[in-house]
Structure 1
Amino acid sequence: MNFQQLRIVHETVRRNFNLTEVAAALFTSQSGVSKHIKDLEDELGLELFVRKGKRLLGLTEPGEELAVVVDRMLMDARNIKGIAAQFSNKDHGQLTIATTHTQARYALPRVVTRFKQAYPKVHLVLHQASPNEIATMLQDGRADIGIATETLAEISDCVSFGFYGWHHSVIVPAGHPLEGVTPLTLEAIAEHPLITYHQGFTGRTRIDETFADAGLAPDIVMSALDADVIKAYVELGLGIGIVASMAFDPERDRNLSMLPSDHLFGENLARIAVRKGHFLRGFAYRFIELCSPALGESVVRAALRPETEREAVF
């Protein structure tokens, strides 16, 4: 048994049993992948995968048990390297943050600036992704920290912490009739074509639920991943927008107006998540603390202890 075999098992599960993708991800041949799997099964005396001809369809019962152990072993191997680096190069290394466009663009610049001032020799990677992709990156060990509003509180093998609360706001072209509607109502908004976020991004679910609870079905004519695109098309007059309030800049967005909407849409909570068992370098704890001073290293460590069963704290 060797680590390449373990990596292949892990990657095979992650790639939905597509050996072509596994081979590409591990820079080897498909025949080499198949041989490693067969050698491991022969050594263990077990069939780990359900097969149909040469295709792999899923895991057998022992394969499911082994996949959990493989995942843990690979994480421990990464942790060993992290521990060594922590003591040999305390202020050097790489920190990978998986986050959404909204967080990277509007919430993190000040945090990143302060972090780079404190750790100039740490290579910071901001990987922009969907909430589901962020969850997968945390689980696979490809990200040290995940930041998003959706999904993170629901991952069983991660711990998430509240980062900050935020609201949606309605934006309209300057001079739009809705500027004169006080107080703004959902009914008034629903009379106009809407432009807002894609499903699964930046609180879109809450927007949909708010209208549905009021018995309204607004005409969402366009959706986008980020507020800058939404604002551009609102400015062109294609509809009114619903964006995260923090995305509106009065200086930059002079041709738009933001309408008070906190009373219409509930508060959203951006979260910071880390995987249980994943070794965090000292500078990773510092990054989290820069995001929220209440999340000092001792607080995060306590939540990550194996005996801690909470998936989310305050």
Structure 2
Amino acid sequence: MTLKELRCLLAIVDAELNISAAAEIMHASQPSLSRHLKLLEDELGFQILMRHGRSISGITPAGQEVIRLARRVVNDVASIRAYAANVRGEETGDLVLTTPQTYARHVLPPVLSTLIQRYPRLNVRIQNMGEGAAPERACDNGGDMMLVSTAGDRVPPGVALPLFRWKRMVLVPRGHALARLDRPVALGELARHALVTYESSRRSDSSLCRALSDAGLRARFACSAEDADLIKVYVRAGLGVGLVGELALEPADHQEFVVLPADPALPECVAWAILPTGRVVRDYALDLIQLLAPQLDVDDIRRAVDGSARPAWPRPRLWQSDYEDVGTPVLPSRPISGVTRLPMQTTYLG
């Protein structure tokens, strides 16, 4: 039994039993994944995955337990390697971030630019996820961190670190009837207009639909998208009133559109970083978290990840008031707690 076989198994499971998708994630061929899976099942003496013809139709009861143990083994090996790299002071590696497009386009660029200045040989990989996607399987795919948003007092499952709070803003063309307002747009006014907003807001359990329902109102959607920049395109085309996160607003948007606060009855949203449970976090991932949320303590993060404590996180700061200068973040200087760094020897090939 090899780690490669276990990783191939987990890749298939995380790709919802689609071997083609798993092969793409693993940068391998479908026959290679099938061969590794067969070797693993032959050694165990039973099937992990059920077949229907040439496709995989499900997971056997015994396979469920194998997958659970395999995930633990793969995570433990990754933790040993991460810990060793931290002790050596190694500044290379892959940082895999799973994030909605709003964060990838509007939040991460200046932060990652600062991070790369400290870790010039760091390889950052961005995996896209939809706005409002459920984070229940956060980092199961081997990722280092998932960025998600929730509204109100909802806390995501897993090791979730509150980064900052943000509000939703109303976006209308300058000639629109709402453009004359000098106050937040009331829920009743939003309900009278066709809305252009995130796809997740269409769900009946979304904070937008719940707030309107509590007021005896109902949303009317003209268009929805996963990308805030597409929402702006459709507002520009006159499809309706835009409702976007303030994270996605740029100086040019205030020149082109009238930007108004939404009704305070719409709860604030919180940006969260979700880390894999029980896995040692690389130093560069901790530095990224501190760039996004300098109020968080590194030792508290480590204790939360290894399960030894459930810290009382400080209240996340407001994006608008505390991140106006987000284009020039400062990376804090700190020692790595509990780790004695060894001299690092680097060999350059070629």
With normalisation by structure 2, the TM-score equals 0.76
Q: CA deviation at 1:277?
A: 1.8
In structure 1, how many angstroms separate the alpha carbons of the residues matched to 2:139 and 2:37?
Answer: 25
Instruction: Provide structure 2 residue ranges, at least 5 long, that are not aligned to the other structure.
Output: 316-350
Alignment-derived partner of residue 278 in structure 2? 277
SS at match of 1:149: strand
5 Å-filtered alignment, 1:116-195, equals: 116-130=116-130, 132=133, 136=137, 138-141=139-142, 143-150=143-150, 153-155=155-157, 158-181=158-181, 184-195=185-196
SS at match of 2:224: strand
Alignment-derived partner of residue 101 in structure 2? 101
5 Å-filtered alignment, 1:238-277, equals: 238-277=239-278
Equivalent residue letter for 2:48: L
Q: How many equivalent pairs are there?
A: 308
From the superposition, tell whether residues 34 and 195 of structure 1 become closer, same or farther in structure 2 (CA, over 3 Å).
closer
Question: Structure 1 residues 161-170 or 37-46, which shifts more?
Answer: 37-46
In structure 1, how many angstroms separate the alpha carbons of the residues matched to 2:190 and 2:13?
Answer: 45
SS at match of 1:218: coil
C-alpha deviations, 1:211-239, integer Å up to 9, x for none?
A: 22222223211112222221222223221
Q: CA deviation at 1:23?
A: 5.2
SS at match of 2:66: helix
Q: CA deviation at 1:136?
A: 4.2
Question: Structure 1 residues 188-197 or 227-236, which shifts more?
Answer: 227-236
Equivalent residue letter for 1:293: P
Alignment-derived partner of residue 233 in structure 2? 232
Q: CA deviation at 1:288?
A: 0.8
From the superposition, tell whether residues 49 and 95 of structure 1 become closer, same or farther in structure 2 (CA, over 3 Å).
closer
Q: CA deviation at 1:296?
A: 2.5
In structure 2, how many angstroms separate the alpha carbons of the residues matched to 1:40 and 1:249?
Answer: 51
CA contact (8 A) 1:159 1:312 kept: no
5 Å-filtered alignment, 1:74-93, equals: 74-88=74-88, 90-93=90-93
In structure 2, how many angstroms separate the alpha carbons of the residues matched to 1:217 and 1:19?
Answer: 42
CA contact (8 A) 1:161 1:313 kept: no
Alignment-derived partner of residue 6 in structure 2? 6
In structure 2, how many angstroms separate the alpha carbons of the residues matched to 1:6 and 1:123?
Answer: 24
CA contact (8 A) 2:165 2:268 kept: yes
SS at match of 1:108: helix
Q: CA deviation at 1:19?
A: 4.3
Q: CA deviation at 1:198?
A: 1.2
From the superposition, tell whether residues 98 and 133 of structure 1 become closer, same or farther in structure 2 (CA, over 3 Å).
farther
Equivalent residue letter for 2:60: T
From the superposition, tell whether residues 124 and 180 of structure 1 become closer, same or farther in structure 2 (CA, over 3 Å).
same
CA contact (8 A) 2:99 2:147 kept: yes
CA contact (8 A) 1:98 1:129 kept: yes
5 Å-filtered alignment, 1:292-311, equals: 292-308=293-309
From the superposition, tell whether residues 37 and 217 of structure 1 become closer, same or farther in structure 2 (CA, over 3 Å).
same
C-alpha deviations, 1:149-181, integer Å up to 9, x for none?
A: 0499433xx300111111111111113222345
Instruction: Provide structure 1 residue ranges, at least 5 long, that are not aligned to the other structure.
Output: none
In structure 2, how many angstroms separate the alpha carbons of the residues matched to 1:200 and 1:144?
Answer: 27
Hey, which of these two has a bigger chunk of helix by percent?
1
From the superposition, tell whether residues 55 and 236 of structure 1 become closer, same or farther in structure 2 (CA, over 3 Å).
closer
With normalisation by structure 1, the TM-score equals 0.84
In structure 2, how many angstroms separate the alpha carbons of the residues matched to 1:213 and 1:100?
Answer: 28
Question: Structure 1 residues 14-23 or 242-251, which shifts more?
Answer: 14-23
In structure 2, how many angstroms separate the alpha carbons of the residues matched to 1:80 and 1:296?
Answer: 23
